Structure 1
């Protein structure tokens, strides 16, 4: 497929989503499909392990799941200082889901787009993290939870007071409000852009490697794939930790 349309056409083909609709109502079908499949895979795997859990000698799957759950639980206990039964499951879901999103980057860049073309699909972008709509949707869900818990813990008047009276006191309310609005808006924007930027760049490197002569592709592709394993794990971890930190700040009522 690398020869079809030249290098520019090849890159554009792999980074263009399969979409329907126009304007605001445009839906990226590939992002929605792969997100749903990967989310279902996460739920199925963890539930199947939970159904077969044993107090005796655990199997490899149980060891793996327990290791991830313990890892996430440790991060929540070290970072989150409020009381909520939602935070640990939310952190686990975000970490595993984003990791699965990112892991799609490890598939051969031509594999799924070629299958899609055989099925009559003109475009197919297989890594949901390379779609800014996907990363922003996930970060906005965290953003709404921040506001929900801020109002729930502090009360509506406490929330308004925090937005208008910090950090410089009630005499500078307009300036305080401007700073707080910028601060709150920066949270979902930074979450979305950090994940999108790193994975988009990683996918672009894989595509550029696929454009090289076949003899050079394994020579450069394998080291980059090894390094990229660290990237996809680190980005999932950062998204999870920042979510915990932001929700911890929302639970502070002093």
Structure 2
């Protein structure tokens, strides 16, 4: 499966193919589902461990980390969604941590887990759930569902319908308002999903291209040049991508808070 045995195109195609069952609309990307669940379970375990170790005395490193993370999330909620319901904090923290963990899988050597999978008979494996558009769309449309619920709760059914009829050009241009508002509302989950997917997919491709340097170019004496170059590029992109995965998780969390705050408001 290594780049030494496959052509450049075959290597990239192999890494971009999910382990799946079903065909067409009913296709389920099994690797995406499994890794998402495993990372969610890991997050729950770490959270439970942090709660179990919490104390009023000298806090542990894990407790310090979670307190810092919770304070960071709460600060963003106060800035973007004053008067937010209590569940927004845990939800925002979960979104940030879970998306970050799924993004972090991109920092694992690109060939490692797929190679281990082949040892047990798994031909294809994509290990970064957020490089699967199904994952990012699922997250985004869950947020979209909450936006609708918050709109209905804050404005009522009549107020929600009125928003579509009168925003942004007033009641005399109701047909145009409906189209414009509908586009505006649908654009929220679509932009959330595509932003996260696009950045993570691009990062995944860069890691593959760097891996190809060692597989297709580092042959014989040329390895004395290409192998060190690959190591430098890999380390440099890894350090930069660490910032990218954190920033993308942060943006997804903040935009979720902002959109819910807008929906919760009685003004539009």
The answer to whether the superposition gives a TM-score over 0.5 is yes
The count of residues paired between Structure 1 and Structure 2 equals 254
How far apart are the structure 2 equivalents of 1:178 and 1:203? 36
Q: Is structure 2 residue 8 aligned with structure 1 residue 35? A: no
| Structure-1 separation of matches of 2:149 and 2:128 | 30
Q: Which of the pair has more CA radius of gyration?
A: 2
Q: Answer yes or no: is 1:225 the counterpart of 2:238.
A: yes
Moved over 3 A (4+): none
Secondary structure at 1:212 match in 2: helix
Corresponding residue for residue 146 of structure 1: 147
2:32, 2:128 within 8 Å by CA — same for their partners in 1?
yes
In structure 1, stretches of 5+ residues that fail to align are none
Deviation at 1:116, TM superposition (A): 0.8
Q: Is the 8 A contact 2:210 2:234 kept in 1?
A: yes
Q: Determine the C-alpha separation between the residues in 2 that align with 1:25 and 1:85.
A: 37
Work out the CA distance in 1 between the residues paired with 2:59 and 2:207: 38
Query: Counterparts of 1:169 and 1:220 in 2: how far apart (Å)?
Result: 55
By how many angstroms is 1:47 displaced?
A: 1.2
Q: Secondary structure at the match of 1:172?
A: helix
Distance 2:119 2:161 in 1: 56
- Give the structure 2 partner of residue 74 of structure 1: 75
Correspondence 1:243-254 to 2 at 5 A:
243-254=256-267
Partner of 1:184: 185
Aligned-partner Cα distance in 2 for 1:163–1:86: 28
Task: State the alpha-carbon separation in 2 of the partners of residues 52 and 88 from structure 1.
Answer: 21
Partner of 1:103 in structure 2? 104
| Deviation string, structure 1 residues 141-170 (Cα, Å, up to 9, x no partner) | 001100011011110001000111111111
Contact 1:136–1:192, Cα closer than 8 Å, also in 2? yes
**Pairing of 1:129-168 with structure 2 (within 5 A):** 129-168=130-169
Helix, strand or coil for the counterpart of 1:99?
Answer: helix
CA distances 1:7-33 after superposition (whole Å, capped 9, x unpaired): 111111111111111111110001100
User: What is the root-mean-square deviation of aligned Cα atoms in Å?
Assistant: 0.9
1:211 counterpart SS class: helix
Tell me how far apart the structure 2 counterparts of residues 83 and 142 of structure 1 sit (CA, whole Å).
Answer: 15
Q: Deviations over 1:39-75 (max 9, x none)?
A: 1111110111112200111111111111111101111
Q: Does 1:216 align with 2:214?
A: no
Q: Distance in 2 between matches of 1:143 and 1:59?
A: 37
1:9 aligns with 2:38: no
